[in-house]
Structures are given as structure tokens and as C-alpha cells.
Amino acid sequence: MKIVTYPLKGSWPMLCRRPASDYTDVDPVVREILGRIKTGGDSALRFFTEKYDGPIIRKFRVPAGEIAGSAALVAEELRSAILTAKENIAKFHRCQIPGTAVVETYPGVSCWQKSVPVETAGLYVPGGTAPLFSTVLMLAVPASLAGCSRIILCTPPEKDGRIDPAILFAASVSGVTDIFTAGGAQAIAAMAYGTESVPRVDKIFGPGNMYVTRAKEMIQLDGVPIDMPAGPSEVLVISDNTGNPSFIAADLLSQAEHGTDSQVLFLTDTPEMITAVKSEVENQLEDLPRKEIAAKSLENSMLILMRSIGECVGFSNFYAPEHLILATSDPASLSESIRNAGSVFLGKYSCESAGDYASGTNHTLPTGGFARNYSGVTTGSFMKTISFQEISGDGLRSLGPVIERLAEAEQLHGHRNAVTIRLNSLSNVRS
């Protein structure tokens, strides 16, 4: 990890640059996949699944019997852990369901807003070296609480053509209605455009590699919304002299092991902490099974010595990390100054892994600095709002002249007339 000492504010933009991703070779591949799935449906989906994942999939929809039987294939302790995580996620996301409040904006004029769910939500859960059942929970639980009538899940097959039972079990207990064996950019295309097997969805959620990320960005041009821009994982840790170096090092490595393009940063106002954390990172790295991945990630990472904790917070707000850990003596007070972060963890025992799995908050978060203007996934992400209003006769009598003046000033006489004709009608009724 690179050590940076007392950087001037003018150098912050350079220090906050994320590892660059080269999409030169990715974009043509993704465009081809999107185009062929759009016109070829299941046939194209089957072709790309065999090309990139290996198995030949005859039927993309996972049978109900296979889903129901998944519980028996998952160890009891893991089933229990998944259910505990699911309940905590549900508790946190249930409180996000918006209510309806009627506001009288003017005498006789009532306005209110109603939140309604996206009808069909499309969830993408990546494959890889381990089944990401936690992502199933993080997406399906709030989608179910929002009231989505259909929750579609796509995830790539293993080499034998099947889906890991832990993913199927997590999906079965969290409200997923349909599961399809499809991964990569081809799965995003299938949900965006629809195929003979996979229905077209209204909005797509979930993380993935650069092919999935680019596919999500491109399908927006065809009018299919997504959750947020996504990118490599990242964490920023701020600590004073009360921090525990071994805890901090473990937190840094927990994100570094995600991928070679992940980025981790440690900020402190205490020189001794830089030395201690660096030593701990090196020691713990040796015992990490994903050592090579984490080591590559650490090449993009930094230990930064600042003049004060306040300056550390200022840098963090500029960086806008996906995950922010405040390992200081008074993290609650410090958290009041946080303006840009995906998810914040307060105190030495609040490890980022808790948020990834089971504390209840969502781990689908903005990366790459998008925490400046995006939120993580919430129950509201699966909902949209419709505004309503009702104006009584007396309300129009009092507000109507205001509307007439405004419409006339904009030279929209049709708008003005829609009010005038009603006011004249009310005048006739009164006379």
C-alpha cells in the first residue's frame, strides 16, 4: 500500500481517482450480446450461456421442485444464518415503506402522494468462486416488501448447469417469484428486452463484472431503468489514536479480497497508526486464501496521514466511499459531518462485513464516487410515486385567479381557459 503524508488539498482529486477500467474491448462484445438477445431471444441466450458459462441450458426457468428441494441441500447452520440475515434485512427495510399524508396546500386544495411498487423487478446475482446468496437477500427482501407483483432473478449456472442450492434457498424465503439460469450481459439483455422464457422487467437491480455493468448502462438507452451505476468495491477507514490496527487491517482486507480492482483507503491523524496498520495488513494478508487478489488490490490502495480527523472527514466527503468506517473515540459526533458515503459503520466493532451480510442495511451501494448523488438500494428503489390532488369548488374560486394569471403570463391561453370555464360554471351555479 502506498503511504501518503499530509497531502495538500490541491492533490486530493488525483488521490481520489479510482483504478481506471478499460472498456475498449468490452463495449463491442456487450453491444453484440444486447443486439442478438433483442432479436434472437432464447436461442441467442442459449448460445451466449454456452459460450461464456459452459453448460447447454435447455430450459432457463428453474423448476419449482428444484427450488423447493434446495433447503435440504443447504447445511442447517447456513439455513439458520440466512434466515436470521433475512429477518434483520426485513426489519430495516420495512421501516422504509412510505406512508400517505394529505396536505391542504390552499383552502379547498388537497394534494397527496401515493407510492406504488414497480410491477416486475429484475434481479441479477453474479456467479464466481462462491454463491452470493447475500445479494439475493439484499435485493429480493426489499422488492417483496415494496409489493412487486413479480420478482425475477437471473444468475449464471455452475459447470453442471445448475444453480447453487444456497442461492435457490435464499430466493425461496425472500419473495422471488421466478428464477432463471442465465448470467452475464446476456442475462441483463434478457430481462431488459424479454425472451420466450425470460419476461421483460420494469427495472433491473444488482452488481456484476464490467460486462454486466456496461450492459446495464447501455440498456438504459432503450428505456430500461437500473438501480445505480456500479463498479469495484471500496472502503475508507478513518481512525484516531484509539483505533485497533488489527481490526482496521481486517476491514481493509475484507474489501481488497473482492477483486483486483477494489480500492481500500486508511486515513488517520496519528503517524504510529500508519505503521501499525501497514504491518497488520502485511501479516494478515499471508493467511488470506484470496491473497493474490487482495495483494493486487492493495497496489491501488493508500495509507494517508492527515493533520487532523476533521481533515480526514473532509477528504472522505470528497472521495465519497461506498463503505466508510469511523473507528474513532467519538464516531457518533463525527458521523454528523458525513455528507457523501454509501453506508457508514460507527465504532470499532461495526465491521463492514456486518453490513454485507446480516446487520440489516443494504449492501448494494454506489461506488466510484457516485455516493455524492446516489443512494444505496432501499425499499423505495422498488417503488414509484404518483401524485394526486382534489380541488373543491370553493378551492377553485380562491386559487383559480392565481392560475389564470400564471397561465396568461406564459401565453398558454388553453391552460387559462381550462380554469376560466370552470369559474364561469361556478358563477352560474351561485347565481
DSSP 95-138: TT------EEEETTEEEEEEEEE-SEEEEE---SSS--HHHHHH
At residue 430, the pLDDT reads 62
Residue with cell 457523501: 340
Distance from C-alpha of 139 to C-alpha of 167, rounded to nearest angstrom: 12
What values do phi and psi take at 164, rounded to 5? Answer: -55, 135
pLDDT in tens, 168-222: 999 999 999 999 999 999 999 999 999 999 999 999 999 998 999 999 999 999 9
Confidence check: pLDDT of 422 > 80: yes
- The DSSP secondary structure of 257-318, one letter per residue, reads TT-TT-EEEEEES-HHHHHHHHHHHHHHHTT-TTHHHHHHHHTT-EEEE-S-HHHHHHHHHH
Instruction: Say whether both 188 and 212 belong to one domain.
Output: yes
Instruction: Say whether both 425 and 355 belong to one domain.
Output: no
Instruction: Say whether both 219 and 236 belong to one domain.
Output: no
For residue 213, give the amino acid letter.
T
Q: C-alpha cell of 153?
A: 432473478
- Has residue 371 been placed in a domain? no
At residue 226, the pLDDT reads 96
How much of the chain exceeds pLDDT 90, in percent? 91
The stretch 252-277 carries a mean pLDDT of 95
- Among residues 294, 374, 394, 343, the alpha carbon closest in space to that of 92 is found at 343
Instruction: Say whether both 334 and 404 belong to one domain.
Output: no
Burial of 411 from C-beta contacts in 10 A (0-12 / 13-18 / 19+): exposed
Instruction: Say whether both 249 and 352 belong to one domain.
Output: yes
User: Confidence band (pLDDT; 50, 70, 90) for 259?
Assistant: confident
The stretch 360-380 carries a mean pLDDT of 94
Confidence check: pLDDT of 411 > 80: yes
- Has residue 11 been placed in a domain? yes
Instruction: Say whether both 269 and 353 belong to one domain.
Output: yes
- Has residue 187 been placed in a domain? yes
The stretch 97-118 carries a mean pLDDT of 95
Confidence check: pLDDT of 130 > 80: no
- Has residue 111 been placed in a domain? yes
The last residue of one of the domains, among 183, 206, 228, is: 228
pLDDT in tens, 340-350: 999 999 999 99
Instruction: Say whether both 199 and 253 belong to one domain.
Output: no
The last residue of one of the domains, among 213, 228, 243, is: 228
Instruction: Say whether both 214 and 237 belong to one domain.
Output: no
At residue 191, the pLDDT reads 98
Neighbour tally for 143: CB within 10 Å: 32
Pairing of strands 234-239, 2-5: unpaired
Confidence check: pLDDT of 20 > 90: no
Strand, coil or helix: what is 365?
A: coil
At residue 375, the pLDDT reads 94
The stretch 12-19 carries a mean pLDDT of 91
- Has residue 217 been placed in a domain? yes
Q: pTM for the whole thing?
A: 0.93
Torsion sign, CA atoms 143, 147, 148, 151: positive
Strand, coil or helix: what is 355?
A: helix
- Has residue 377 been placed in a domain? no
At residue 407, the pLDDT reads 97
- Active-site position among 280, 322, 352, 404: 322
Residue 326's domain comprises 2-21+231-360
The last residue of one of the domains, among 197, 228, 259, is: 228
Residues in the chain: 431
At residue 373, the pLDDT reads 92
- Among residues 351, 186, 369, 387, the alpha carbon closest in space to that of 253 is found at 351
Instruction: Say whether both 42 and 182 belong to one domain.
Output: yes
At residue 380, the pLDDT reads 96
Contact between 222 and 204 under an 8 Å Cβ cutoff? The reply is: no
Instruction: Say whether both 274 and 346 belong to one domain.
Output: yes
Q: Which helix (H) or strand (E) holds 344?
A: strand 343-346
* Number of structural domains the chain divides into: 3
pLDDT in tens, 238-258: 999 999 999 999 999 999 998
Distance from C-alpha of 100 to C-alpha of 396, rounded to nearest angstrom: 24
Catalytic, 272? Answer no
At residue 252, the pLDDT reads 97
Distance from C-alpha of 102 to C-alpha of 111, rounded to nearest angstrom: 6
For residue 99, give the amino acid letter.
G
Rounded mean pLDDT of the chain? 95
pLDDT in tens, 41-61: 999 999 999 999 989 999 999
- Active-site position among 323, 352, 363, 404: 323
Instruction: Say whether both 88 and 201 belong to one domain.
Output: yes
User: Confidence band (pLDDT; 50, 70, 90) for 27?
Assistant: very high
Q: What's 220-235 look like in SS3? A: HHHCCCECCCCCCCEE
Distance from C-alpha of 123 to C-alpha of 151, rounded to nearest angstrom: 7
User: Confidence band (pLDDT; 50, 70, 90) for 22?
Assistant: confident
Residue with cell 436461442: 43
Confidence check: pLDDT of 289 > 80: yes
Q: What is the CATH number of the domain that holds 98?
A: 3.40.50.1980
Distance from C-alpha of 241 to C-alpha of 44, rounded to nearest angstrom: 57
Instruction: Say whether both 196 and 339 belong to one domain.
Output: no
Residue with cell 481533515: 311
Sheet containing strand 178-181, edge to edge, reads 178-181, 150-155, 120-124, 203-205
Catalytic, 408? Answer no
Contact between 227 and 315 under an 8 Å Cβ cutoff? The reply is: no
Neighbour tally for 310: CB within 10 Å: 12
- Has residue 369 been placed in a domain? no
Burial of 288 from C-beta contacts in 10 A (0-12 / 13-18 / 19+): middle
- Has residue 283 been placed in a domain? yes
Confidence check: pLDDT of 431 > 60: no
